[in-house]
A and B are shown apart, each in its own frame.
Chain A
């Protein structure tokens, strides 16, 4: 069904919802690469005007990828909660933006709404939002999950400690891990991206991470970010798998590019749950996503990259994950060209994830061929923290020596804790204070702790065992 508007005497027409969404998207290189972006600034505004007047329920009536052709569409349609949607069923997309911004709309309201929202609704309204809208609405949403600690409580910020090593060497991983602990990082997860997808390496890495956690007696969880099939096999062999990880995207075809489908994810989630390793909760899944992944797999079906990204969140929420993050600047400048595009995309992803009920975090990052630098990362970290981001990823000195890109440094979270008053998860915060790594929750890794590693001495002794 065509949509249109008249602007300055010109009649603009858009043949279907996916075209309208693409043309209404704030400019980014990936949609231009796909040939679906607005061709002028005025066409973009015309599309936004038409989109604002569209009833929200249009997103239910017209799917962007056919139901018969795509299991992600079927998941979105079949799991839609009409009762949860009822309070906003009468709104246009423009009115929905104002509803979200209304101070009378509370965190409780937004939580109740989440099952009634589809990814396309979240993406559509985000296209009418300025950066401050994306921050203000997200800051009102609260999504709390649990495994060995409580992630996502208001005014807190958790971190994934990412101690990667170019060849997965155990001592190298352990060295970066302990450095991160000394900076108070690692309450969302201690998660390693393996250099290989070999089962024996996966088992060695999760065993290493679990051993160190036990030596430290730290209330957190670990993960090796291998493929779900590797995780399932490791679980079958008795490996200590806390979180089961998978990269996912917004279409069945794109997920097949990652070697997964919903059935396999079901199986992986069940395998993770079967171990019952969470002490205070059973959110066992960890997902990563990122705008442009569907396009790069030629699996976007003419849908803009931000809408495709939101569709990945429909996949994620089906499995009640502990944490989800967009790897926003990793994919390269052909999808998000510069700091401005990366910053906006990071906020959009966080906004859509939170609206859809996800414990949404972000890998605040960039590659060396993007027009971005550490200043852009400081801005994105600061605005995401204002928006209440669930967690961010941190690596030693902002330099990931395995994946060859720049993320945040362990230091950067200390900056947020102090400047914006964002302590870690409460159980982890209490542990940091108990072992002497922080005097207050806002000041992890005091000088004394860095000079005298007594707090991590049990782990260092374990490490000496590895060296022997």
Chain B
């Protein structure tokens, strides 16, 4: 059978016309043509482009100088907010990918640096590259510009913004603990998919300390231009921060408390 082309269609399939009307119901790659058994050249290259974007989001280092400059511009709206740059215990991207445990802890130098920082506050904002530098570069500064005045208006004091290289979500626990924050808000690049390589996640953890479990956090995900807008994300984070500081908790127990409150309010 190999090499026998008698069963092949007479001409390459260019479009799945019969399913064209269904494409509006799903972002999935349906209705692709099929020359022989393969993808049409255009679709194969489009896939390659999307994978390249995702790979670059993971591997192109976050430009912290540019990020600080953008944050400084944001300070026009929120003066007086300093940023501190730290590094996780993962020395480079390869070690970061192989050793998630190291990405969750500060390097000894960075820990010492934060220990000598006097920055007691209700909320510490942390921004980490995570698995998408692009997510942080594109969405971090505009989100911070919205979030900082919003949190201040609600009467919360803010510590410095901590910028983390090679960081995972849980490094916010150690940062918050060392700085004595009541609540840490971690903004981090999410694992890129083919359809979105610029998705930012926000994780809120009350009473952060080394060893917090993921069930002790609240998460807002898919913050990006084509997903949850920074304006809506800032509003959601603000509301969650209010609730976290009022109830003195985050995570599944906060969700339960909020659900219970809604049920009482609605009855």
Contacts and interface: CB of A to CB of B under 8 A. Distances in A.
Contacts of A280: none
Contacts of A169: 25-26
B230 to A, nearest CB: 21
B158 to A, nearest CB: 31
A373 B99 CA distance: 21
Interface residues of B, number: 48
Contacts of B36: 418
Given A179-B31, A182-B16, A182-B18, A369 B97 contact: yes
A39 B193 CA distance: 34
Given A399-B194, A411-B38, A447 B9 contact: yes
B237 interface: no
Interface in A155-208: 163-166, 169, 171-176, 178-179, 182-183
Interface stretch (A80-88, A127-135, A221-229, A437-445): A437-445
Contacts of A29: 98
Interface stretch (A97-105, A252-260, A450-458): A450-458
Interface string A325-346: 0000000011001000000000
A404 B193 contact: yes
Contact of B54 (A368, A442, A445): A368
Contacts of A451: 13, 17-18
B91 to A, nearest CB: 15
B264 interface: no
Contact of B7 (A368, A373, A440, A448): A440
B55 interface: yes
A182 B194 contact: no
A337 B28 contact: no
A175 B26 contact: yes
B223 interface: no
Interface in B168-188: none
A171 B102 CA distance: 43
B8 to A, nearest CB: 8
Contacts of A440: 7
A445 B11 CA distance: 14
B89 interface: no
Nearest to A455: B18
Given A175-B23, A419-B2, A442-B1, A369 B191 contact: yes
B34 A183 contact: yes
A272 B7 CA distance: 41
Interface residues of A, number: 59
A33 interface: yes
Nearest to A415: B37
Contacts of B11: 447
A347 interface: no
A396 interface: yes
A368 B194 contact: yes
A175 B19 contact: yes
Nearest to B43: A397
A289 interface: no
Contacts of B26: 165, 169, 171-173, 175-176, 396, 401
B29 A399 contact: yes
B98 to A, nearest CB: 5
Contact of A175 (B22, B38, B47, B55): B22
B211 interface: no
A414 interface: yes
Given A175-B26, A415-B37, A421-B1, A32 B98 contact: yes
Contacts of B71: none
B85 interface: no
A447 B10 contact: yes
A186 B222 CA distance: 31
B102 to A, nearest CB: 10
Contact of A334 (B2, B19, B97): B97
Contacts of B194: 368, 399, 404, 406
Contact of B131 (A369, A374, A420, A448): A369
B25 A175 contact: yes
Contact of B1 (A405, A411, A418, A439): A418
A401 B27 contact: yes
A404 B191 contact: yes
Given A169-B26, A334-B99, A406-B194, A179 B19 contact: yes
B29 to A, nearest CB: 3
Given A182-B16, A368-B51, A442-B7, A166 B37 contact: no
B100 interface: yes
A178 B28 CA distance: 12
14 contacts: A32-B98, A33-B101, A171-B26, A174-B25, A368-B193, A395-B28, A396-B32, A397-B28, A401-B26, A411-B39, A418-B1, A418-B37, A450-B16, A450-B19
User: Which 5 A-B pairs give the minimum distances between C-beta atoms?
Assistant: A397-B29, A404-B193, A453-B18, A447-B9, A172-B26
Interface of A: 29, 32-33, 163-166, 169, 171-176, 178-179, 182-183, 333-334, 337, 367-369, 373-374, 395-399, 401, 404-406, 409, 411-412, 414-415, 417-421, 439-440, 442-443, 445-448, 450-453, 456, 463
